[in-house]
Amino acid sequence: MKIGISQLNFHIGNFNENLTSVAFEIKKAQQFNLDLLICSELAICGYPPLDLLEYKSFIDLCTEALERLAKICTDIGVLIGAPTLNPESTGKKLFNSAYFLADGQIRQVFHKTLLPTYDIFDEYRYFEPNREFKLLKYKDRKLAVTICEDLWYEQPFEADLSNKRLYTINPMDELIKEGPEIIINLAASPFSYTKIDVKQNIFLENARKYNLPVIYVNQVGGQTELIFEGGSLALNRKGVIVKELACFREDSAIIDLDSLLYDQMEPVETKPKDPSAMIYQALRFGLRDYFNKSGFRKAVIGLSGGIDSAVTMVIAADALGPENVHALLLSSTFTSEDSVNDAIKLAENKSVEYDILNIEKLFRQVKDTLQPLFKDLPEDIAEENIQSRIRSLLLMAYSNKFRHLLLNTSNKSEAAVGYGTLYGDMAGGLSVLGDVYKTDVYRLARHINRNKAVIPENIITRAPSAELKPDQKDTDSLPEYDVLDQILFQYIENRKSEKEIGKMINDPVLASKIIQRVNRNEYKRYQAPPILRISSKSFGSGRRMPIAAKY
Amino acid sequence: MKIGISQLNFHIGNFNENLTSVAFEIKKAQQFNLDLLICSELAICGYPPLDLLEYKSFIDLCTEALERLAKICTDIGVLIGAPTLNPESTGKKLFNSAYFLADGQIRQVFHKTLLPTYDIFDEYRYFEPNREFKLLKYKDRKLAVTICEDLWYEQPFEADLSNKRLYTINPMDELIKEGPEIIINLAASPFSYTKIDVKQNIFLENARKYNLPVIYVNQVGGQTELIFEGGSLALNRKGVIVKELACFREDSAIIDLDSLLYDQMEPVETKPKDPSAMIYQALRFGLRDYFNKSGFRKAVIGLSGGIDSAVTMVIAADALGPENVHALLLSSTFTSEDSVNDAIKLAENKSVEYDILNIEKLFRQVKDTLQPLFKDLPEDIAEENIQSRIRSLLLMAYSNKFRHLLLNTSNKSEAAVGYGTLYGDMAGGLSVLGDVYKTDVYRLARHINRNKAVIPENIITRAPSAELKPDQKDTDSLPEYDVLDQILFQYIENRKSEKEIGKMINDPVLASKIIQRVNRNEYKRYQAPPILRISSKSFGSGRRMPIAAKY
């Protein structure tokens, strides 16, 4: 049996486009005389469709699309993800299903058993879990069809409160009783730089535990915050990877099932992946796909001479082409000459066009306008925020006038402690670095500069500053970033307590101060742009905190 | 047996404060020689604690608080909600539980069976469902202890895809087998103006179906977006309400169980509730409690002379006291003299202090600053947005300087179709009217003016305008609000399709145009402030839509 795997990039709700690309793959598969083609989870509508699933009309479009696809599956079998209406009189309205299309019709349906409902996942919001276990029997072969999380029963994380299994049933333990010859997994598993090895290990362990080969077909593409890296795999029964699809682009492969079953496929040499390189590729890909899918071609960015906007600009220029990026340098009296020169040099290094505007007169006019109210009160954070908001006002004006999407340049460390101005530097249509801690932003800069100094060395080595008052430095109000990021990582990613972190860094006062700042600034993050997610715990829909709480 | 019910307002994570108020109630109950005191769902930590539940340290604080409370429960039994660590080796880490404290210790624990995971609810994110059914046996009485959704098996909504039950098990059908004498329900059930009758009917139906009296103890208080109205109830076995606690404030009552069991309690006269009056009270209460819980005392608001800012200002003045509200009138050349005069009159009617600033010079300075980029391009939406953002810049400056929280004045109709400026009139710490359709804003205005013209009649009757270009009217780019709101309600609340709505309003082109606008503007709403929720489907965490989708 010849099996094709198609790792495609779907546009949520864009049924025509999704259908066309699947139909194209089927046609190709038919030309190669494949027996079976496998697509990813909820491929029909794209993952995650979120509350669009609550619209009957949306489900109807999924069903129609499936039926149209089934018609062309005359001499081939296709496994493809789609939602199913739950026919029972009780339970959630839908199943998250894998459809088997063959002989021009829908032949069989398999439902997902384990419904991730944590972090960015909300599957129990929509889906009823499967309770019936059966194999796909096709051309004298028996295949165990699983959907994404179904193979994650033994997942090693999300275990911060105890060392327990998240689910009470292991679908593969049920399916194995029916004597399958191979495990198929239709997935929509998003990228996280902490999860690269974890993912491969999950499949390795399933292969070994059940003594079966595994074929894993993942979705690829950016879906607003989420980046699906693809990286689909085939492993033999020893857990050795024998086929690996590309990361961050569409890809496909043909697998001869007999070769896979009888261990006749060569191991793939998998190189250890450099996290900075992976993060860089993920961000570039996520950015590009957000533009593609939301119909934007061009980006505008405020270039300050600091490292965050520098890295953001480089990623944007690589993602969209430098001709599609415009930089605005918005200087004030507090902007050092170095900052301007470095920003210019950076833009020129990347062939990005830029304009320089001085915000000084505007800043004075704002202060004049407010004079009747502010009178002779001393300048404070209000005036700092005014400058930041003047910049975003100009950037958004450019964005609106020329239809460039404003890229946000805040990093995760700032976002965590609220070191940023709401509607000021926190503005933008998409946050590129909002899930990257400041110390990792430096690593990205080093990665960008690995062959040549694209980002002027000065930008990397100069002490970080918001340049909103004379001689300001980030360290005036924050600890050194390596200490800060350690506290933040332990609190946000690892859910450690104030007390534990205080011990860990040997400074309970600092730990407490930082954690309180994180908690106090939920209100700011609530209004932040969508953030490209690259970690296991990003701000945004994966981290839901009460605002008016005291903790 | 004498039962006390305590409808309290909890501050999420504020264990000291929550504990103090429960302990005070217990003491009071002891003075009245009550046998049992009932508090609401997750009372220990406040509802909804969201991802704070993922912190082991948070759960430990809940447990400590429970143990401290148990110690004072020597001559009284207390039923109170708190999370429990799941001791099993599989399943979610927690249960959502009702603790029975008596004899100075934790005597028994009951877990919630039905875990709402829809709209604003994410309970399956944290909790494992209960599978064991037992009664509370106390002083020769047998009580069925249920938690909120446990009584909602037969809920009549969330049924937009079919006429089915959301859950596969009905906990009361299990508990009834043990022969309970009464149903107790610990709840945290948020306000929605569409749900006032639905709620009472749910309890009525449970009472009749099981032929048992029901005591329902709800949380009261604002929790950022969510408003819990309280309105706790006791019903006899015929489903007649015999005790009703206040809405929108803390309240308590004593119920003699024998009188309740033997139908010796007088029916309460429940008046039909005017939706506008309820919405008004809910918003006033939600606003006030957000300020209380986030440590703000004063609000600033941009007063335009339009109806949205007028209604918002009145609600704020009523909630916080007029001395705690400051209005800024930010006029431009496009601001009509009527608008300014009406705004002044309104502020004076409510004794709210105001300042008038003209944004004209600032607008000109922004245009001058941008002149090198914009050159002689015609003015368009960019310039309209600039004005809106200048206003928010000034309002936020005032907010930062004087520590006033900026109230957002956008309504639900605008938010739905993206008729607003991101970082401009969409700015603010809290959206007061973001869940109120424009036609309902008019109803609120009429309600406010029911005895006297607080809001100048002109504001109510003048055609709505953003006043961002000469002679602008909302109807230049939107249909009349009664038509618009009908389309929006059918699409957002009722999840009807474009096609169905087109038929309903007999204008498929308009239906399609409006629905496309709703879909296209997810990106704007993503960055909107938290919205006080008063409907069954508010923008915010209860409605999760993909941004970069095409539908």
Which chain A residues are within 8 Å of B153, Cβ to Cβ? none
Paired tokens of A337: 């000459």
Q: Which of A265-279, A481-495, B480-494, B501-515 has the lowest mean pLDDT?
A: A265-279
Determine the pLDDT at residue B197: 85
Determine the pLDDT at residue B194: 87
pLDDT in tens, A47-57: 999 999 999 99
What distances in angstroms separate CA A534 from CA A118, A195, A320, A336, one per listed residue?
16, 10, 20, 33
- Quick one: which of B134, B90, B89 has its CA closest to B109? B134
Q: What phi-psi label fits residue A94: left (phi over 0), alpha (psi between -120 and 50 degrees) or beta?
A: beta
**B506 part of contact set with chain A, CB < 8 Å:** no
> How many interface pairs between A and B have CB atoms less than 8 angstroms apart?
301
pLDDT at B159 over 50: no
Which chain B residues are within 8 Å of A14, Cβ to Cβ? 549-551
- Quick one: which of B388, B399, B448 has its CA closest to B299? B399
- Which of the residues A45, A73, A112, A293 is marked catalytic? A112
**B377 part of contact set with chain A, CB < 8 Å:** yes
Q: How sure is the predictor about A160, in pLDDT bands with cuts at 50, 70 and 90?
A: low
**Angle between helices B481-492 and B438-448 in degrees, nearest 10:** 110
Which chain B residues are within 8 Å of A373, Cβ to Cβ? 355, 357, 398, 401
Determine the pLDDT at residue B37: 98
What distances in angstroms separate CA B144 from CA A493, B147, B206, B243, one per listed residue?
40, 10, 12, 19
In the predicted model, what is the mean pLDDT of residues B471-490? Answer: 94
Is A89 in contact with B165 (CB distance < 8 Å)? yes
Q: How sure is the predictor about B271, in pLDDT bands with cuts at 50, 70 and 90?
A: confident
pLDDT at B158 over 80: no
Percent of chain B that is helix, strand, coil (3-state, to 5): 40, 20, 40
Which chain B residues are within 8 Å of A400, Cβ to Cβ? 380-382, 385
- Residue B541 class from Cβ within 10 Å (0-12 exposed, 13-18 middle, 19+ buried)? buried
Q: Which B-chain residues 416-475 have CB contacts (< 8 A) with chain A?
A: 422-423, 427, 429
Determine the pLDDT at residue A154: 86
Rounded CA-CA distance B457/A111 in Å is 59
* Residues above pLDDT 70, as percent of chain A: 99
**A366 part of contact set with chain B, CB < 8 Å:** yes
Paired tokens of B489: 């309600």
**B298 part of contact set with chain A, CB < 8 Å:** no
How far A478 CA sits from the closest chain B CA (Å)?
20
**A14 part of contact set with chain B, CB < 8 Å:** yes
What distances in angstroms separate CA A507 from CA A502, A511, B114, one per listed residue?
5, 6, 43
Please state, as a whole number, how many other Cβ atoms lie within 10 Å of the Cβ of residue A270: 11
pLDDT in tens, A240-288: 999 999 999 999 999 999 999 999 999 998 888 899 999 999 999 999 9
CB burial of A520-536 (b: ≥16 within 10 Å; e: otherwise) equals: bbbbbbbbbbbbbbbbb
Residue of B nearest to A422 (CA): B423
Rounded CA-CA distance B95/B80 in Å is 14
Is B145 in contact with B79 (CB distance < 8 Å)? yes
Q: How sure is the predictor about B160, in pLDDT bands with cuts at 50, 70 and 90?
A: low
CB half-sphere exposure, A208, CA atoms < 13 A: 10
Determine the pLDDT at residue A340: 94
How far A242 CA sits from the closest chain B CA (Å)?
33
Q: How sure is the predictor about B509, in pLDDT bands with cuts at 50, 70 and 90?
A: very high
Task: Give the list of residues 6+ apart from residue B430 with CB closer than 8 angstroms, or none.
Answer: B287, B290, B405, B407, B408, B529, B530, B532
Rounded CA-CA distance A120/A191 in Å is 12
Determine the pLDDT at residue B163: 64
Rounded CA-CA distance A75/A73 in Å is 6
Residue from A51, A158, A163, A425 whose CB has the most chain B CBs within 10 Å, to mutate? A51
Contact B164 A547 (CB under 8 A): no
pLDDT at A157 over 60: no
Residue of A nearest to B401 (CA): A382
Rounded CA-CA distance B183/B169 in Å is 17
Which chain B residues are within 8 Å of A542, Cβ to Cβ? none
Which chain A residues are within 8 Å of B355, Cβ to Cβ? 372-373
Paired tokens of B295: 């440590």
pLDDT in tens, A317-364: 999 999 999 999 999 999 999 999 999 999 999 999 999 999 999 999
Determine the pLDDT at residue B323: 98
Paired tokens of A353: 């066009």
Paired tokens of B545: 């839509």
Coil/strand/helix, residue A82: strand
pLDDT in tens, B328-381: 999 999 999 999 999 999 999 999 999 999 999 999 999 999 999 999 999 999
Rounded CA-CA distance B232/B217 in Å is 5
pLDDT at B439 over 90: yes
* Residues above pLDDT 70, as percent of chain B: 99
Choose the closest CB to A495 out of B54, B92, B355.
B54
Choose the closest CB to B168 out of A90, A368, A400.
A90
What distances in angstroms separate CA A119 from CA A18, A50, A153, A523, B367, one per listed residue?
27, 14, 16, 19, 44
* Global ipTM: 0.96
Question: Which runs of E-coded beta strand occur in B385-531?
Answer: 404-408, 430-431
Choose the closest CB to B366 out of A224, A362, A368.
A362
Beta strand pairing call for A233-235 and A241-244: antiparallel
Coil/strand/helix, residue B264: coil
pLDDT at B66 over 80: yes
* Residues above pLDDT 90, as percent of chain A: 93
Coil/strand/helix, residue B550: coil
Q: How sure is the predictor about B427, in pLDDT bands with cuts at 50, 70 and 90?
A: very high
- Quick one: which of A261, A38, A30 has its CA closest to A145? A38
**A227 part of contact set with chain B, CB < 8 Å:** no
- Quick one: which of B19, B173, B26 has its CA closest to B82? B19
Determine the pLDDT at residue A159: 46
Please give the radius of gyration of chain B, using alpha carbons only, rounded to the nearest integer: 26
Residue from A117, A355, A374, A539 whose CB has the most chain B CBs within 10 Å, to mutate? A117
Rounded CA-CA distance A441/B405 in Å is 33
Paired tokens of A280: 């860089």
Coil/strand/helix, residue B549: coil
- Which of the residues A25, A39, A41, A467 is marked catalytic? A41
Residue A112 falls in the annotated catalytic set? yes
Determine the pLDDT at residue A163: 64
pLDDT in tens, B385-413: 999 999 999 999 999 999 999 999 999 99
Coil/strand/helix, residue B350: coil
- Quick one: which of A440, A491, A445 has its CA closest to A193? A440
Please state, as a whole number, how many other Cβ atoms lie within 10 Å of the Cβ of residue B269: 7
pTM assigned to the model: 0.97
Determine the pLDDT at residue A430: 98
**B355 part of contact set with chain A, CB < 8 Å:** yes
Residue A164 falls in the annotated catalytic set? no
Residue A441 CA to its chain's centroid (Å): 17
What distances in angstroms separate CA B488 from CA A12, A277, B105, B415, B416, one per listed residue?
22, 45, 53, 11, 7
What distances in angstroms separate CA B474 from CA A230, B443, B536, one per listed residue?
46, 18, 26
* Residues above pLDDT 90, as percent of chain B: 93
pLDDT at B276 over 60: yes
Task: Give the list of residues 6+ apart from residue A333 with CB closer than 8 angstroms, or none.
Answer: A360
Q: Which A-chain residues 162-201 have CB contacts (< 8 A) with chain B?
A: 162, 164-168
Paired tokens of B261: 């069991």
CB burial of B353-374 (b: ≥16 within 10 Å; e: otherwise) equals: ebbebebbebbebbeebbeebb
State chain B's mean pLDDT as an integer: 96
**Angle between helices B381-402 and A360-374 in degrees, nearest 10:** 50
Task: Give the list of residues 6+ apart from residue B366 with CB closer than 8 angstroms, or none.
Answer: A362, A393, A394, A397, B386, B390
**A368 part of contact set with chain B, CB < 8 Å:** yes
Which chain B residues are within 8 Å of A397, Cβ to Cβ? 366, 370, 374, 382-383, 385-386, 389
Q: What phi-psi label fits residue A379: left (phi over 0), alpha (psi between -120 and 50 degrees) or beta?
A: beta
Bridge partner residues of B138 (DSSP)? B141
How far A511 CA sits from the closest chain B CA (Å)?
15
**B361 part of contact set with chain A, CB < 8 Å:** yes
Contact A51 B88 (CB under 8 A): no
Determine the pLDDT at residue A158: 52
How far A228 CA sits from the closest chain B CA (Å)?
14
Question: Which runs of E-coded beta strand occur in B8-104?
Answer: 36-38, 77-85, 94-102
How far A34 CA sits from the closest chain B CA (Å)?
32
pLDDT at A511 over 90: yes
Task: Give the list of residues 6+ apart from residue B341 with CB closer than 8 angstroms, or none.
Answer: B305
Determine the pLDDT at residue A551: 83
In the predicted model, what is the mean pLDDT of residues B247-263? Answer: 97
Residue A148 falls in the annotated catalytic set? yes
**B275 part of contact set with chain A, CB < 8 Å:** no
Helix and strand counts by DSSP (H, E) for chain A: 17, 19
pLDDT in tens, B324-342: 999 999 999 999 999 999 9
Determine the pLDDT at residue B131: 95
pLDDT at B234 over 50: yes
Coil/strand/helix, residue B273: coil
Catalytic residues of B: 41, 112, 148
